[in-house]
Amino acid sequence: MPRELKPLMVMGTSSGAGKTFFVTAILSILRDMGVDAVPFKAQNISLNSAVAEGGEIAYAQAMQARAAGAEPSVLMNPVLIKPEKGSSHIVVMGKHYMTLNPRDYYREDVHDSLFRIAIEAFNELQKKHELVVIEGAGSPAEVNLKDIANVEFSKAVGAKNILISDIDRGGAFASILGTVNIMGRRGLIGAVLNKFRGDEGMLRPAYRIMSERYNIRILGAVPYLPLMLPWEDSADNLPSRGGKVRVGIVKLPHISNFTDFYPLYKIKELGISFEELPDPQGYDLTIIPGSKVTVHDLIQLKVSGFDEMLKNAVLDGRWIMGICGGLQMMGKRVIDRVESGIGEIDGLNVLEAETVMEPVKKVRNVEGTIIAKGMEGIPISGYEIHYGETVSPSPFAVIRKENGMHVSRPDGSQNAKVFGTYLHGIFENEDFTLSLVNTLRNENGLDALRGPIYLGHDKEIHDASEAIRNGVNLAFIFEAIGLKP
């Protein structure tokens, strides 16, 4: 007889409190326990997305699905908001739904429609699985906004709630109390302190006060674990570090899918810097990443003089790479009457390539083989999420599979040390990344590295799970949702 489990919802006292981290770890723990659990987030605001069954979802929910041992599905993130220049690109059930300014997004008719869609997606997931673990969005205490992803949703599906607070920011107990007073106590199991540094014994008196005076159970504390999992939705604090080989990543105004660069942090002695205007002469490799609004970011780079710096670096023999929007910018021209409506614009002109934006977004998982000189024959896989087609007389790779179907088509463009590709997740390909990094190391007189250098997110998820097992009263949480060992 199947277990009757109540949905578990994880909310936070603020953005960045650790909701994504906690849900990912809990799903891994439940998987180890033999529970068929899957993630769900009614609405996510993020420029980091991934390909799932049915279309496009937030990268975080795709990662959580894999931690749960499930295939990512659009049911797990029915509403994805991708901020653009003065508006937001709204993805519903994996497909572009509409583009709205923030005020229109919060209209009552839009709210009601999206809320209904989110409930239907959740109900379908719940029919297929034993347990749905729901991640809230931002804070549930934003009293000025209509909210489809927190308290209203929790009440509609009868979820039991956990509240996460980032104690590293300070004021965690006040944040918990204030949030609970605003959101209410219906379904509340308790609160968890995240990113704690120090002796938890010193927190015990506060646990007692929160319970006796305010009737809020503190379920435990999770230690501070730096660089645990890829960043979800903010490019404001992307980490930089020094190293013997230097990689400069252009922090575009509308940078997207910056999760692409997470694997680079696993590589020994690799320096990484995110800059709005990096001088490619100062780096061994400069990368132009994806952009939500390619033409607007291209214009900004040209206004700032980056195009001249880039051309000088190419003449000097520096390595330059573009991913998705970065690839499009690096060509001779972009013709865009779809995304920006600007029309034809000259590119950075460091690749023999031309891009024409098209009205239908391409969302697909792909596999292929590199044909660029020096990397010939290296297999690669990843995913594409973009408008437009890029044509080049010298492709970077050949795509052999697209969403599991056999194809044969070119990808990207290359010219000696300058190359671009549409493949997000390309640095997760061990052979490609090792080849590129070792080429850079060789040019700097350093010994080659040996793999493995990247093992997905398995280690981080394991470490997060162990930290939660050791620091949080999971037995109390599981009993609250009807799950008994």
**Rounded (to 5) percent helix, strand, coil in the chain:** 35, 30, 35
Name residue 399's beta-bridge partners. Answer: 368, 409
Centre a 10 Å sphere on the Cβ of residue 270 and count the other Cβ atoms it contains.
23
CA distance 392 to 347: 14
The sign of the CA dihedral 276, 413, 359, 44 is negative
Q: Which tokens hold the place of 165? A: 């607070």
Is the distance from CB of 172 to CB of 193 less than 8 angstroms? yes
324 a catalytic residue: yes
Q: Is 129 a catalytic residue?
A: no
Pairing mode, if any, of strands 8-12 and 37-40? unpaired
Helices within 396-457 (DSSP H only): 430-443
Burial string for 435-457 (b: 16+ CB within 10 Å, else e) reads ebbbbbbeeeeeeebeeebbeeb
Tokens (6 digits) for 448: 């080659």
Selecting among 96, 129, 296, 324, the annotated active-site residue is 324
- Cβ atoms within 10 Å, residue 387: 19
In sequence order, the β-bridge partners of residue 275 are 250
- Who contacts 485 (Cβ-Cβ below 8 Å, separation ≥6)? 33, 475, 478
Burial 356-376 (b: 16+ CB within 10 A, else e): bbbeebebbbbbbebbbeebe
Instruction: Please identify which of the residues 129, 254, 424, 457 carries the catalytic annotation.
Output: 424
- Interatomic CA distance for residues 20 and 50, integer angstroms: 15
Start-to-end Cα distance in the chain: 15
Which of helix, strand or coil describes residue 105?
A: helix
Which residues are catalytically annotated?
A: 324, 424
